[in-house]
């Protein structure tokens, strides 16, 4: 069996945690295993802050952050006898940061160089602990465009190269440890593929080999039918389809980023979410194929959003208004989470992160209201989005009726509704203080409690 095992930062927080991951990987010594690692613990957050502090010239902060990074990695390196490999990496980081400080400027390219140290260091330490071979994502074969900090892997070339580079090593029984998150352009310039990108590294490798399964090890068992903090009877979903997992991807840090699921879905490589602190749990298996017969599988909520409504008679029957709204929001870098427009065309409602509200309001007032395309922009803060997700809902009449009956019975007011034509989810907007009741009502209504 060929398995890609990706260990997240929380599973690699210190030497103790690394030992646990190493024994989980070693338990599969008779299989072909490619390990992918994130940076240790919060190392990437520290590096992000370090890059900013280096430009600002806040010497003391730079000193403290470098100190912390040295401490975390030297301590772990010491336990596994990896000092010889780790010391030069840390001095390279010191030099790089000093250089940025001297110039007082950071380019996206040098920022990526700084960020890459988290995974360079963790892979070196894990390889020592595992008695394996460390390689960067670039050495493994991942090539990206040059959109630094959010680079996109060039799929065809990457898949081909990964296969060429890793297969002979796995055939020889080598244990390989690949850096997640970092890759390089075709000109060998280091890039990173976006925060949380190690999952994508893992699924790329899984798709390339191809692996029988990709295991994403973190500190949660997998996907749940609801957040157990608000629904105590919530249960672990033992199996979901890629379509469902992608639909659930926006709801909380504990799910996988849809971008990471795409290569696995496309190449039909099953992904299993697993917990390093609870390895006896089989986790959640994500595969292609049919949903598990039920309708609603999970009830989720997205917090910290605002509902923004652009309204006015001028919008009715006028072509290009929606385009103008979304172009304006896009130009301001506002992320649109939910969209809803009634057939009257007298208003378009969008849900956006609360942090983007001021930017969005200003831009819409300037480009729509003052330009005569709309009458006013309304904003409601403190709202949540609740979603009922399940691939089995498609084509089944009466689901929406059941959803809204259950919510109404709890006297929760629904402020906006959206459903994609894929019918994978129904989502609606409520006041933040009513969303927990809505989630509880739906979880119960669809019999998801165990
Ligand atoms: N270390 C990177 C981050 O924290 C990538 C990852 O962990 O997936 O975003
Ligand atoms: Mg991560």
CATH number of this structure's domain 2-219, picked from the four choices 3.30.930.10, 3.40.1160.10, 3.40.50.1700, 3.30.420.40: 3.40.1160.10
Spatial distance between the Cα atoms of 157 and 430, rounded to a whole number of angstroms: 45
Q: What is the DSSP string of 371-390?
A: TTS-SEEEEEEEEEEEEEE-
Domain spanning 298-445: CATH 3.30.2130.10: yes
- Each residue of 230-281: pLDDT tens digit? 999 999 999 999 999 998 987 765 778 889 999 999 999 999 999 999 999 9
Spatial distance between the Cα atoms of 359 and 310, rounded to a whole number of angstroms: 14
Residue among 343, 285, 338, 284 nearest 317 (CA):
343
Residue 121's pLDDT band (cuts 50, 70, 90): very high
Spatial distance between the Cα atoms of 155 and 414, rounded to a whole number of angstroms: 42
* Ligand 1 center to 198 CA (angstroms): 6
**Cβ(405)–Cβ(426) below 8 Å:** no
- Each residue of 30-43: pLDDT tens digit? 999 999 999 999 99
Q: State how beta strands 284-287 and 239-241 pair.
A: parallel
The preferred substitution site among 13, 38, 194, 260 for testing ligand 1, maximizing ligand atoms within 8 Å of CB, is 38
Task: Give the mean pLDDT of the chain.
Answer: 94
pTM, full prediction: 0.90
Average pLDDT of the residues in 83-91: 98
Angle at 90 (CA atoms; ends 89, 95), nearest 5 degrees: 100
* Ligand 2 center to 357 CA (angstroms): 27
> Residue 228 gets which letter from DSSP?
T
Spatial distance between the Cα atoms of 297 and 307, rounded to a whole number of angstroms: 26
**Cβ(301)–Cβ(439) below 8 Å:** yes
Residue 343's pLDDT band (cuts 50, 70, 90): confident
The answer to whether the Cα torsion of 331, 332, 335, 336 is positive or negative is: negative
The preferred substitution site among 197, 253, 256 for testing ligand 1, maximizing ligand atoms within 8 Å of CB, is 197
* Ligand 2 center to 196 CA (angstroms): 4
pLDDT reported for residue 256: 84
pLDDT reported for residue 253: 58
Q: Which residues line ligand 1 (CB under 6 A)?
A: 8-9, 38-39, 44, 118, 180-181, 195-198
Angle at 92 (CA atoms; ends 88, 96), nearest 5 degrees: 170
Please tell me if the domain spanning 2-219 has the same topology as the one spanning 298-445: no
* Ligand 1 center to 170 CA (angstroms): 25
Break the chain into its structural domains and give their ranges: 2-219, 298-445
Average pLDDT of the residues in 10-37: 97
> Which residue's alpha carbon is nearest to atom 8 within ligand 1?
196
The preferred substitution site among 6, 40, 44 for testing ligand 1, maximizing ligand atoms within 8 Å of CB, is 44
What 3-state DSSP class applies to 37?
strand
């Amino acid at each position: 069996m060929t398995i890609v095992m990706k260990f997240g930062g929380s599973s690699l927080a210190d030497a103790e945690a690394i030992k646990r991951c190493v024994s989980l990987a070693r338990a599969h010594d008779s299989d072909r295993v490619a390990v992918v690692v994130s940076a240790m613990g919060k190392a990437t957050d520290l590096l992000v802050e370090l890059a900013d502090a280096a430009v600002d010239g806040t010497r003391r902060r730079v000193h403290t952050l470098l100190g912390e990074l040295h401490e975390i990695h030297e301590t772990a390196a010491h336990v596994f006898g990896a000092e010889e490999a780790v010391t030069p990496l840390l001095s390279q980081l010191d030099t790089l940061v000093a250089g940025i400080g001297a110039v007082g400027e950071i380019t996206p390219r040098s920022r990526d160089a700084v960020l890459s140290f988290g995974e360079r260091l963790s892979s070196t330490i894990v390889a020592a602990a595992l008695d394996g071979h460390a390689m960067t994502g670039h050495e493994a074969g991942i090539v990206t465009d040059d959109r630094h900090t959010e680079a996109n892997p060039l799929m065809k070339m990457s898949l081909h190269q990964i296969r060429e580079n890793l297969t002979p090593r796995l055939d020889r029984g080598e244990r390989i440890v690949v850096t997640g998150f970092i890759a390089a352009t075709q000109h060998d310039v280091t890039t990173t593929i976006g925060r949380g990108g190690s999952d994508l590294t893992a699924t790329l490798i899984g798709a390339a080999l191809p692996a029988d399964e990709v295991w994403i090890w973190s500190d949660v068992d997998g996907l749940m039918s609801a957040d157990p903090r608000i629904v105590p009877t919530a249960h672990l979903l033992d199996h979901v389809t890629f379509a469902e997992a992608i639909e659930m991807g926006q709801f909380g840090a504990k799910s996988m980023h849809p971008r990471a699921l795409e290569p696995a879905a496309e190449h039909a490589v099953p992904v299993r979410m697993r917990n390093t602190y609870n390895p006896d749990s089989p986790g959640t298996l994500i595969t292609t194929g049919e949903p598990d017969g039920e309708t609603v599988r999970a009830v989720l909520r997205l917090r910290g959003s605002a509902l923004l409504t652009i309204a006015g008679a001028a919008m009715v029957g006028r072509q290009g208004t929606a385009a103008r709204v979304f172009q304006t929001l896009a130009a301001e870098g506002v992320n649109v989470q939910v969209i809803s427009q009634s057939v009257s065309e007298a208003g378009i409602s969008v849900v956006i992160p609360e942090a983007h509200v001021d930017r969005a309001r200003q831009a819409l007032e300037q480009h729509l209201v003052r330009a005569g395309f709309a009458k006013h922009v309304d904003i409601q803060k403190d709202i949540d989005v609740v979603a009922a997700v399940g691939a089995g809902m498609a084509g089944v009449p009466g689901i929406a009726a059941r959803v809204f009956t259950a919510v109404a019975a709890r006297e929760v007011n629904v402020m906006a509704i959206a459903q994609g034509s894929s019918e994978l989810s129904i989502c609606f907007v409520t006041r933040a203080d009513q969303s927990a009741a809505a989630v509880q009502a739906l979880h119960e209504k669809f019999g998801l409690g165990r």
